[in-house]
Structure 1
């Protein structure tokens, strides 16, 4: 907002960007919303979810595993992406002024269950935002540091260059640490007035972060994410084809979501209690996994 002199920021439905009074407005997951003032100047737009959304096909995602939905798109064309971009344009035309401050998105939605967008959606969305004077922010808290396997940063898989990147989790391997990376021009805008953080730039945190970066490179963890993640995705897809309640397997590298449904035709979320029983059974067998999704219906690996 300081840099662009605009106010409105757009995020995707299903996104999780934090729980502070400001970032809570960008978060669009009901279970994480609290009854406090938030969201002033924040607008959400349709999530381009090719499994659960109105449009999707069998070749939309940058993943070894696609949805089981049919696809009639010719080579090089994605009608689902085109439809979701039209919805994005509709939000820009109806819900915000002619100029916007920015757009924030995770390269793959983490808390919402490893939701992936159609190829080129993010690239076209970035272009539309920049045409309206806004900056583009990549939330790499869950996707960064080689987790997607093919690239070190999740945004690289979308062939985009954001103006700002938020980092955490993987940067410290359990140590409480986060960072924001941006351009010099945007950073200079913040320096117009005094801004400081009591615990910012901690030497201890920097040493931890540097050691994690060394380990990622020396131990080949990015390649491990790609190799192990691809194997797991392909094997999990076999379970999806075998069991009616496994609606979708998706992800990239070691960011994987298994969406549980009552049946594949309706795609109705499996009740949270039943998903919880599967989750507990996995834990009893020594497999620790997470849960996500709007209805807590996704098993996260």
Structure 2
């Protein structure tokens, strides 16, 4: 029989982490870190049995340890887990189900293991299709921890004091509360922000180059949950495409109904991206991600392989997550619960001078502290 796992004390766990884990790997609460030993649905439990409502974890999309998801993963793991180079029903069925949630032109899947890998592949696809290098991203954006993604993530390369690459072009974040063009201060903040992207494109062309892609989250997350003004993405996508570039939607944080009204955040803006990257929510904590694009763009990539991307266990888990979202009507739940939160925060806003703004969509809601 297997040996019973050793249970470490809190102090032992903390000391061993300090000894063996990189110092740059930060804990959520550095002064008094929580030692979480189990979880169920929306709750976390520490080593003393204390229960916490989990408002931090951004991968547990349908609740911690959801029995349907756990069962699907266990069943498939007991049957087969292998590299993705073999035919398997799970990959084919899961790809079909994901594609059915998207506009018709987004019809080809590439499976990988993380949101960073997905955004890296999105970048590669855009360059393969356009035969260009230059990228437009938004101020304070974050798109992943791979080297080339740090280079297009102003939130990170500024913090790390890295020199911005000459092929990276940073447009102002379309924040109408704190940003360059604010609601009530300029006639049309949306037009002012989108015209800035147009100007960047023209400046790049004046240098004899072209834009490969514009990349953004349809609802910016890492920089404080920024909701874009009406028509902003429509205008930006039009400028980029008129000049031969493609449009990338980073849905790693925002996909699969988290924003309530729609299954994908880009649908709020009445636009259709050319490439969509999906990550965190799709595996409910299982490491998996997907890039979905058009056949025309996909066919320009000469070769691609991922050892574990799309393996049978991951796809079984992914399908179980889709089952739960549908069967438990979680998208409409995110809409109704999110509205309750927004209405409640807005009701108390006038009575609390430290609250500057409340915004968001579905269950992605920030309260701006001033």
Into which bin does the TM-score normalised by the smaller protein fall? 0.7 to 0.9
Note the C-alpha offset of 1:56.
2.7
Note the C-alpha offset of 1:41.
2.2
TM-score normalised by length of structure 1: 0.76
Does residue 1:133 correspond to 2:215, yes or no?
Answer: no
Q: 1:176 is matched with which residue?
A: 287
Contact 1:9–1:43 at 8 Å: present in 2 too? yes
> What is the alpha-carbon distance in structure 1 between the residues aligned to residue 156 and residue 132 of structure 2?
27
Note the C-alpha offset of 1:72.
8.6
Does residue 1:108 correspond to 2:108, yes or no?
Answer: no
> What is the alpha-carbon distance in structure 1 between the residues aligned to residue 346 and residue 273 of structure 2?
32
> What is the alpha-carbon distance in structure 2 between the residues aligned to residue 168 and residue 256 of structure 1?
19
> What is the alpha-carbon distance in structure 2 between the residues aligned to residue 117 and residue 17 of structure 1?
18
Higher mean alpha-carbon deviation, 8-17 vs 221-230, is at 8-17
Q: Which of residues 21, 30, 50 is equivalent to 2:176? A: 50
Does residue 1:84 correspond to 2:193, yes or no?
Answer: yes
Does residue 1:217 correspond to 2:336, yes or no?
Answer: no
TM-score normalised by length of structure 2: 0.62
Which stretches of structure 1, 4 residues or longer, exceed 6 Å deviation after superposition?
none
Q: RMSD in angstroms over aligned alpha carbons?
A: 1.9
Q: 1:248 is matched with which residue?
A: 357
Name the larger-Rg structure: 2
**Matched residues, number:** 242
Residue pairs, 1:1-301, within 5 angstroms? 1-30=127-156, 33-34=159-160, 39=165, 41-57=167-183, 70=184, 79-95=188-204, 97=208, 99-190=210-301, 192=302, 194-261=303-370
Contact 1:55–1:83 at 8 Å: present in 2 too? yes
Deviations 1:31-54 (A, max 9, x none): 885466874622211111000013
> What is the alpha-carbon distance in structure 2 between the residues aligned to residue 249 and residue 151 of structure 1?
20
Note the C-alpha offset of 1:113.
1.3
Contact 2:142–2:156 at 8 Å: present in 1 too? no
> What is the alpha-carbon distance in structure 1 between the residues aligned to residue 138 and residue 164 of structure 2?
16
Q: Which has the higher contact order (CA 8 A, sep 6+)?
A: 2
Change (3 A) 1:95 1:240: farther
> What is the alpha-carbon distance in structure 1 between the residues aligned to residue 157 and residue 354 of structure 2?
23
Greater fraction of residues in helix: 2
Deviations 1:166-191 (A, max 9, x none): 0011111111111100111111111x
Deviations 1:67-94 (A, max 9, x none): xxx4796xxxxx1111112222222222
